[in-house]
């Protein structure tokens, strides 16, 4: 058998993975070997006869496991971006194994004893600010991963996390299978009624990928949204909408709802083992928000105004439908269709008129130019480097002034059956100065745009362009990281801070100067007109009630599912509401990185027995379908809008723990972003290099080396204000 390329030194450009030599069967032996080496490194650190120091314990731990990290990052990227039946089988086998390995580290008594000893003496160690931050964050990470637990609690915690890892994989693969399985073939001209040429081009590309001529639609949002917007076949719109909303429950053999219910049940048990009444309390204790009450305070300020705005919007749509001789009742599969017609009438703005100006290649150029104007970095495409799919592109990123390399940027923009839905940023290598070899990062952006057929330019919608810039904001957060330690690098920040750079960079996508230069008509080459730009800007708040409701409903359901409900309700899903707090977004102090509730002496370790006695038995697994239905009824979610993500396919919640009791973070970060971008507006120059340099220094380069509240104050000079976000969404008077 050929030697395993994953176990060899990667003699590739930039230290990239050897994509052209990798096969699914390479991963298990590579990860087994990498984990074994990592365990040896951990035992060496833990068994050092010398007293614990920052360098021989904390810094050494941060450097350890480089081989494990490289292979695991590669594996997770491929299973998301270019999977296969063989790779999915390996993923199912390895998910609990990798979780077990991580548990072995965080539950290693000897290793934690050394970290704990240093933590107790941290203020006497004469550490630098970044060193202190790393020690505090590592200590908290270990505590939150059960390091202070004892006896049965310790064993059970490990068992829960390993079972969760398998369940996350099962959930993700089931949703992906539903998305890949669905096909709507448009056999006749009547089936294609209303669909503009750019939509049909994308549908032809899907048909070709599936191996037949003609036109076909899958369940990629980049195809579903335009189909719902333009198709005059209400029956087909209904079919597509219902299939899209039924992902995760369409096939009884892979119904995700029992999996999601078990995940919720295990999270509740884990939280109680750790001394928290609910999983929401556990998750939020290490976020900027700190408590469920602070999150609900923010969401509730938006929820009722958003519903009122959406009700007005629905009335306008119903009036338009009746005027056109259509049924006046607006269903979920009607909203996009009639909203487009109302927008066209009110603002003389037609998505089919806009889309030819937003060519993917030109929008990538616009994105790179914005980064250059703001941060002085240059993106240069590199060809003839083996990658994992022909559509994937690679760019070298350098400082314009010095020519020094910043990192490598991988751009993967098209939907395909082997790629999970959505859009995301990931790393193949994180930035860190505390390592041998390559210290700069390899960052990837994944989108799911519909690829045009026959070599025609891929055209993006207004929302696609926003998504492109959003994910690029995450990429810049990873690329411009400039810290010593991997644990503090790039996007390894608190979850409700990580969306600040991404949402911040959406603002530059539609700056008039950017559009005039890069938004050129795909056929004529003419630049977009000032008059059309003004129409775009005038329509920015159109349909914001719909958008705010469909998002906020999901955030509220997420919080309720994990144990916290809106004000006025004394009970969450498992009978407890998140602890009250007198501090919210504006008045919250910097997150206390030294303590989580599980790390406080009065509730940690032996005190867990007290908490478990209070909690009594683990709550039963919820009925996911019934819970979703009852919560939507309780909240008053308009049926014509519904949830942006139904629980049966809510990957944010059930493919990982990262956004569990955390879908609110987009709005929390939007408060930061809207307030932060006002600094650029008020300066009179939205490309102010001085402000951009400060944003780079305080936020993008800092990673998690400083507390996020301090990072924000470093840039803005004060805490954020809520009003800019409310004005931006049109929920209060303003622009």
What are the boundaries of each domain within the chain?
Answer: 5-177, 182-246, 254-349+545-663, 356-538+667-728
For residue 600, pLDDT beyond 50: no
Please tell me the number of Cα atoms within 13 Å of 700 on its side-chain side: 25
pLDDT of residue 566: 54
* Domains 254-349+545-663 and 356-538+667-728 belong to one CATH topology: yes
Give the per-residue pLDDT at 327.
86
Q: What average pLDDT does range 571-579 have in this prediction?
A: 40
In the prediction, which pLDDT does 436 show? 85
Respond yes or no: is residue 269 known to be catalytic: no
Q: 442-449 and 405-414: which strand pairing?
A: parallel
Report CA 83 to chain centroid distance, whole Å: 19
Say what the pLDDT of residue 493 is. 97
Which DSSP letter does residue 57 get? I
Tokens 């994105």: give the residue.
367
| Integer angstrom CA distances of residue 558 from 161, 257, 305, 562, 652 | 20, 14, 20, 6, 10
How does the average pLDDT of the chain come out, rounded?
91
- Average pLDDT score over residue span 728-732: 87
Give yes or no for a contact between 400 and 376, defined as CB atoms under 8 angstroms apart.
yes
The correct CATH number of 5-177 out of 1.10.1370.40, 1.10.287.3510, 2.60.120.650, 3.30.70.20 is: 1.10.1370.40
Q: What are phi and psi of 731, to 5 degrees?
A: -95, -10
Adjacent-strand bridge partners of 514: none
Residue 569: per-residue pLDDT: 52
What is the model's pLDDT at position 36? 98
Strand ranges in 220-320 using DSSP code E only, listed in sequence order: none
Write the pLDDT tens digit of every residue in 506-552.
999 999 999 999 999 999 999 999 999 999 999 999 999 999 999 99
| Annotated catalytic residue within 351, 471, 550, 670 | 471
* Measured distance CA(53)–CA(75) in Å, rounded: 34
Q: How far apart are CA 505 and CA 509, in angstroms?
A: 7
3-17 as b/e: b if 16+ CB within 10 A: ebbbeeebeeebbbb
Q: What whole-number distance in Å separates Cα of residue 214 and Cα of residue 203?
A: 8
Q: Is the pLDDT of residue 469 over 80?
A: yes
Output the pLDDT for position 597.
Answer: 41
Q: What is the mean pLDDT of residues 601-630?
A: 63
Strand order in the sheet with 405-414: 377-382, 393-399, 405-414, 442-449, 424-429
- Taking residues 387-416, report their average pLDDT: 97
Is the pLDDT at 465 greater than 50, yes or no?
A: yes
Helix (H, G, I), strand (E, B) or coil at 685: coil
Is the predicted pLDDT of residue 454 greater than 70, yes or no? yes
Three-state SS letters, 524-566: CCCECCHHHHHHHHHCCCCCHHHHHHHHHHHHHHHHHHCCCCC
pLDDT at position 397: 98
Q: Enter the pTM of the model.
A: 0.91
Tell me if 42 sits within 8 A of 105, measured CB to CB.
yes
In the chain, the N- to C-terminal Cα span, in Å, equals 66
Token pair 């995301």: residue? 424
Provide the sign of the torsion angle of the four alpha carbons 278, 279, 282, 283, taken in this order: negative
Is residue 236 within 8 A of residue 184, CB to CB? The reply is yes
The per-residue pLDDT for range 159-211, each reduced to its tens digit, is 999 999 999 999 999 999 999 899 999 999 999 999 999 899 989 989 998 89
Looking up tokens 């750790």 gives 274
605 falls in which pLDDT band (50, 70, 90)? very low
Structure token pair of residue 626? 């019934």
DSSP character string of 161-214:
HHHHHHHHHHHHHHHHHHHHH--EE--STGGGTT--HHHHHHHHHHHHHHT-SS
Confidence at 588, pLDDT banded by 50, 70, 90: very low
DSSP letters of 625-645?
HHHHHHHHHHHT--TTT--SS
pLDDT above 60 for 255: yes
Instruction: Over range 318-346, report the average pLDDT.
Output: 95
Domain 356-538+667-728 has CATH 3.20.20.70: no
Look at residues 368, 436, 381, 387 and name the one whose alpha carbon lies nearest to residue 77: 387
Position 629 scores a pLDDT of: 97
Please state, for a pLDDT cut of 70, what percent of the chain lies above it. Answer: 92
Pick the CATH number of 254-349+545-663 from 3.40.50.880, 3.20.20.80, 2.70.50.60, 1.10.1370.10: 1.10.1370.10
């Amino acid at each position: 058998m050929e030697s395993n390329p994953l176990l060899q030194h990667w003699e590739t450009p930039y230290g990239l993975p050897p994509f052209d030599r990798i096969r699914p069967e390479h991963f298990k032996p590579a990860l087994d070997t990498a984990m074994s080496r990592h365990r040896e490194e951990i035992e060496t650190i833990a068994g050092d006869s010398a007293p614990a120091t920052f360098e021989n314990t904390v810094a050494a731990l941060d450097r350890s496991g480089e081989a494990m990290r490289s292979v695991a990052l590669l594996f997770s990227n491929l299973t998301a971006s270019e999977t296969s039946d063989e790779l999915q089988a390996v993923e199912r086998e390895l998910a609990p194994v990798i979780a077990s390995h991580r548990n072995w580290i965080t539950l290693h008594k000897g290793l934690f004893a050394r970290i704990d000893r240093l933590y107790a003496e941290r203020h006497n160690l004469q550490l630098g600010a970044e060193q202190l931050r790393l020690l505090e964050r590592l200590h908290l990470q270990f505590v939150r991963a059960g390091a202070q637990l004892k006896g049965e609690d310790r064993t059970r915690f490990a068992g829960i996390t390993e079972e969760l890892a398998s369940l996350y994989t099962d959930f993700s693969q089931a949703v992906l299978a539903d998305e890949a399985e669905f096909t709507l073939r448009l056999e006749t001209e009547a089936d294609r009624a209303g669909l503009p040429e750019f939509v049909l081009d994308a549908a032809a590309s899907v048909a070709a990928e599936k191996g037949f001529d003609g036109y076909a639609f899958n369940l990629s949002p980049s195809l579903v949204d335009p189909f719902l917007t333009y198709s005059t076949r209400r029956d087909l719109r209904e079919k597509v909408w219902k299939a899209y909303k039924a992902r995760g429950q369409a096939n009884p053999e892979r119904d995700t709802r029992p999996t999601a219910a078990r995940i919720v049940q295990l999270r509740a048990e884990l939280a109680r083992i750790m001394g928290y009444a609910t999983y929401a309390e556990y998750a939020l204790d290490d976020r900027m928000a700190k408590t469920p009450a602070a999150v609900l305070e923010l969401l509730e300020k938006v929820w009722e105004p958003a519903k009122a705005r959406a009700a007005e919007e629905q009335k306008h749509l119903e009036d338009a439908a009746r005027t056109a001789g259509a049924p006046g009742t607006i269903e979920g599969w009607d909203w996009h269709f009639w909203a487009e017609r109302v927008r066209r009438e009110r603002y003389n703005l037609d998505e089919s008129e806009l889309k030819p100006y937003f060519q993917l290649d030109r929008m990538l150029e616009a994105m790179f130019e914005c980064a250059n104007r703001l941060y002085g970095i240059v993106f240069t495409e590199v060809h003839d480097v083996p990658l994992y799919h022909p559509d994937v592109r690679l760019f070298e990123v350098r400082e314009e002034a010095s020519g020094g390399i910043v990192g490598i940027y991988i751009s993967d923009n098209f939907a395909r059956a082997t790629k999970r839905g959505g859009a995301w940023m990931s790393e193949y290598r994180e930035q860190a100065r505390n390592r041998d070899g390559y210290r700069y990062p390899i960052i990837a952006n994944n989108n799911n745009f519909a690829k045009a057929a026959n070599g025609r330019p891929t055209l993006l919608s207004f929302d696609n362009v926003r998504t492109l810039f959003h994910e690029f904001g995450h990429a810049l957060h990873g690329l411009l990281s400039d810290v010593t330690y991997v644990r503090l690098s790039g996007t390894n920040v608190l979850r409700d801070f990580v969306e600040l750079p991404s949402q911040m960079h959406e603002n530059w996508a539609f700056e008039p100067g950017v559009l005039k230069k890069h938004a050129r008509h795909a056929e004529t080459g003419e630049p977009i007109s000032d008059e059309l730009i003004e129409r775009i800007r005038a329509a920015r708040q159109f349909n914001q009630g719909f958008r705010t409701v469909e998002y906020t409903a999901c955030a509220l359901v997420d919080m309720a599912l994990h144990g916290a409900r809106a004000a006025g309700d004394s009970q969450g899903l498992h009978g407890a509401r998140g602890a009250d707090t007198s501090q919210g977004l504006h008045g919250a102090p910097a997150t206390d990185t030294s303590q989580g509730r599980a790390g406080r002496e009065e509730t940690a370790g032996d005190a867990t027995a007290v908490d478990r006695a209070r909690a009594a038995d683990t709550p039963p697994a919820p009925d996911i379908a019934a819970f979703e239905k009852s919560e939507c009824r309780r909240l008053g979610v308009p049926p014509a809008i519904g949830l942006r993500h139904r629980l049966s396919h809510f990957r944010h919640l059930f493919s990982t723990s990262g956004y569990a009791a955390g879908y609110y973070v987009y709005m929390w970060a939007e408060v930061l972003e809207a307030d932060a971008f006002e600094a650029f507006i008020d300066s009179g120059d939205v490309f102010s290099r001085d402000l951009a340099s400060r944003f780079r220094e305080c936020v993008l380069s800092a990673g998690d080396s400083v507390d996020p509240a301090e990072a924000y104050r470093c840039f803005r000079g004060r805490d954020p204000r809520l009003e800019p976000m409310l004005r931006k969404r049109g929920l209060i008077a303003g622009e």
